[in-house]
Structure 1
Amino acid sequence: MPEELQERTEQATPRRREKARQKGEVPRSRELTGIIGTWMIFLYFVFSGTFLISIMQHMKEAFTRVKNPEFVASAIITIIKDEIKWYFIQFLPIGGVLLFGVLLVHFIQTGFLFTGATLVPDVSKISPLKGIKKLFSLNALFETIKGILKLVALGIVIYFVLKKDVNILPLLIDMDVKAIAGISFQKIYQLILACLIMLTVFAGIDFAYQRWQYERNLRMTKQEIKEEFKETEGSPMVRARIRSLQREMARKRMMQEVPKADVVITNPLHLAVCIKYDSKNMNAPEVVAKGANLLAERIKEIARASGVPIYENKPLARALYRIPLGEEIPEALYKAVATILATVYKIKGRQIA
């Protein structure tokens, strides 16, 4: 079945997730980024209470200087430069707070991720067909419903915040400017705080949806799982080749043990088993190499070239051949092997310990 017709029912593998992350494809919510940045600026204004007052006082002083009869028009450039510098210094902390907020939300959503993959233009994205599909996608439907609900929620919040203070409006006529400003700032603060709380709820919903959508888009078909397994673990042919190479390497290591053996016991045509015994390091003789047919012939050739004695004993050769490489011979074969080793050592002038 073609891959595009298969359902993406499987959870994404760690490798698929890592590939997507390297491309910059991570779940992120613009709503969350915006609301955290707004919260940071709002809290900055709240806890630095004198900021707005100092701005207003400075503006008042600036207008007073300009209205002064002694003001020289030629000094306007200097004043503008001074004003720009002053406002830059005043708003610099806000920029720092905003930058911190952006970095914070980036870390919350994606962790430590810095990639240039998203900066590379993707021509495939400039597709009229894809653009039309996006208009009728699940994501577009979600954004539409979210936008409508957000407008309704904002209206409800504004209504309930201002409703209880409607009776105060007629009283403002008899108040001085300072009192009116105080009440106005208080209501603006309450309104902004209520709206921010409401928008934070929507940002949380959007973030949860973006994560769900990300997981949904990252799902894989069964065929993709199989293909990835082949890539990571290797195809059956590759695995067979690896096993073949491993056997070849093991065989070479085994053949290097033949010249070190004390004796080669054969049956004599089909089997050859190399026995080694070191009384200082071994509890019993060990099988250090073995082979059948052509490999047995090769073992005998190396043994002859290395001066290793070859003894024919069919029953013993068959019994020894069943023992795994590097293993000690069983107690039942001690006597038969010891007899052969005694003969070999007698010729070489050695003794069995």
Structure 2
Amino acid sequence: MAEQADQDSKTEEPTENKIRDEVERGNVPISREASIFASVAGILIIAAFMIRESARSITITLERLFGDSSEWPLRNGFDAVALLAFVAWDMFRLLIPLFVILMVSGLLSSFLQNAPQIAPDRIRPDFQRISLVNGWRRIFGARGQAEFLKALFKLISVGAVISTVLRWEQGNLANAMAVEPEAIPEMILAIAMRLLSVVCIVTVLLLAVDLLWARAHWRRDLRMSKQDVKDELKRSEGDPLRKARLRSLALDRVRKSMIAAVPKATLVIANPTHYAIALRYVKEEGGAPVVLSKGQDLLALKIREIAEQNSIPIIEDKNLARSMYDSVEIDQAIPPEFYKAVAELIHFLYSKNPPRSSIK
């Protein structure tokens, strides 16, 4: 019940990090039908392209072995070893291509499903795999029942197909009594190839369904609870509280830096308490006016306070202050669209040559 409740709580789709971690650990969706299809396809290839040549070679070997027994005298143990070595080598030479085809087809069935990788977690000893309780759950649990139903459906499907093919071949099998003995092996091979071809087609259909089922079941097993998603977000992006604290410290440093730069300003443009922008323009330094600091609400009041303490002119222009606040950057020259308006203010200050007090 606890396991079912835990599974029910996992309602969120797995994240990319979760999927990547599981793949690195070797937990990937695999269809067992792929290896079966690879084996059937390999046997079909062998039957179509190699079985005739192999049968011919075996026939030649047997004729050489039993046709002239004087060629193989068995006077002592060395003769017996030589005979066995000849037979073993000939059989090995004939069987090795068959093993290679089956091995390659099996490897391809695995590699085409998932990229090959080394996963130590999959080969590390795990005593839970030999636990009787876990084994009982695997066999008689929901997954075991699903595998049983899949195997039963596969058995029924393949059995029905084989029965149908054999019924079609009843006439050929009955005619085998009247054909020459030399033609019987070719007839049997033709029937076997047709049977393998039909089984291969059925296996392809089963493989397609099983691949979809395996991947859907794999993603369902990887589902996460809402708490799992939050924990992973913390691990990947950091603790939100810590990040908020760091942002707060960074903003404090920026504020202190801007406050310290206000005494160097030439003028402050305000709106009248919501926004404040401190600009520096010295004709000898050249270039456009530079933004030393800007602030809103409390920070704007602080900028004005420091400007008044240092007798820096404060010009109240609501529209200009509001539009400049969203467009200017600290320690950067003002954008060209504000050149004319700011130049008029600076010209006004220089032409009037006012005392070091606020202009309002």
Fold conserved between structures, TM > 0.5: yes
- Distance in 1, matches of 2:60 and 2:206, equals 38
Task: Describe the shift of the 1:88–1:251 C-alpha distance in structure 2 as closer, same or farther (beyond 3 A).
Answer: farther
Stretches of structure 2 lacking an aligned partner (at least 5 in a row) = 354-360
Task: Describe the shift of the 1:10–1:264 C-alpha distance in structure 2 as closer, same or farther (beyond 3 A).
Answer: same
Q: CA RMSD in A?
A: 4.1
- Distance in 2, matches of 1:83 and 1:278, equals 103
Task: Describe the shift of the 1:288–1:61 C-alpha distance in structure 2 as closer, same or farther (beyond 3 A).
Answer: farther
| Cross-structure match for 1:119 | 123
1:337 pairs with 2:341: no
Mapping 1:211-226, distance limit 5 Å:
211-226=215-230
| Cross-structure match for 1:80 | 84
Contact kept in structure 2, 1:273 and 1:321, CA below 8 Å? yes
- Distance in 1, matches of 2:144 and 2:262, equals 74
Secondary structure of 2:112's aligned partner: helix
Once the two structures are TM-superposed, the CA of residue 80 in structure 1 deviates from its matched residue by 3.0
Once the two structures are TM-superposed, the CA of residue 335 in structure 1 deviates from its matched residue by 4.2
| Cross-structure match for 2:112 | 108
Which stretch of the first structure deviates more once superposed, 150-159 or 318-327? 318-327
Once the two structures are TM-superposed, the CA of residue 4 in structure 1 deviates from its matched residue by 2.3
- The alignment covers a number of residue pairs equal to 330
1:200-242, Cα deviation, whole Å (9 max, x unpaired): 3323332222112112112222222222223223333122123
Task: Describe the shift of the 1:171–1:101 C-alpha distance in structure 2 as closer, same or farther (beyond 3 A).
Answer: closer
Contact kept in structure 1, 2:265 and 2:292, CA below 8 Å? no
| Cross-structure match for 2:138 | 134
Secondary structure of 1:109's aligned partner: coil
Once the two structures are TM-superposed, the CA of residue 245 in structure 1 deviates from its matched residue by 4.1
Q: What letter is aligned with 2:150? A: K
| Cross-structure match for 2:312 | 312
1:155 pairs with 2:159: yes
- Distance in 1, matches of 2:255 and 2:63, equals 94
Q: 1:54 aligns with which of 53, 56, 63?
A: 56
Q: What letter is aligned with 1:71? A: P
| Cross-structure match for 1:228 | 232
Secondary structure of 1:26's aligned partner: coil
| Cross-structure match for 1:23 | 25
Once the two structures are TM-superposed, the CA of residue 173 in structure 1 deviates from its matched residue by 4.0
Mapping 1:206-285, distance limit 5 Å:
206-248=210-252, 250-251=254-255, 261=264, 263=266, 274-277=278-281, 281-282=287-288, 285=289
1:54-104, Cα deviation, whole Å (9 max, x unpaired): 342244145327833652442332343344344434333333333432332
| Cross-structure match for 2:358 | none
Contact kept in structure 1, 2:34 and 2:110, CA below 8 Å? no
Q: 1:145 aligns with which of 143, 149, 165?
A: 149
Task: Describe the shift of the 1:170–1:275 C-alpha distance in structure 2 as closer, same or farther (beyond 3 A).
Answer: closer
1:25-78, Cα deviation, whole Å (9 max, x unpaired): 111012212212330342143134543323422441453278336524423323
Task: Describe the shift of the 1:333–1:134 C-alpha distance in structure 2 as closer, same or farther (beyond 3 A).
Answer: same
Identity, in percent, stands at 23
Q: What letter is aligned with 2:311? A: Y
Which stretch of the first structure deviates more once superposed, 85-94 or 230-239? 85-94
Contact kept in structure 1, 2:276 and 2:303, CA below 8 Å? yes
Give the alignment's TM-score, normalised by structure 1.
0.74
Contact kept in structure 2, 1:273 and 1:320, CA below 8 Å? no
Task: Describe the shift of the 1:198–1:336 C-alpha distance in structure 2 as closer, same or farther (beyond 3 A).
Answer: closer
Secondary structure of 2:311's aligned partner: strand
Secondary structure of 1:311's aligned partner: coil
Give the alignment's TM-score, normalised by structure 2.
0.73
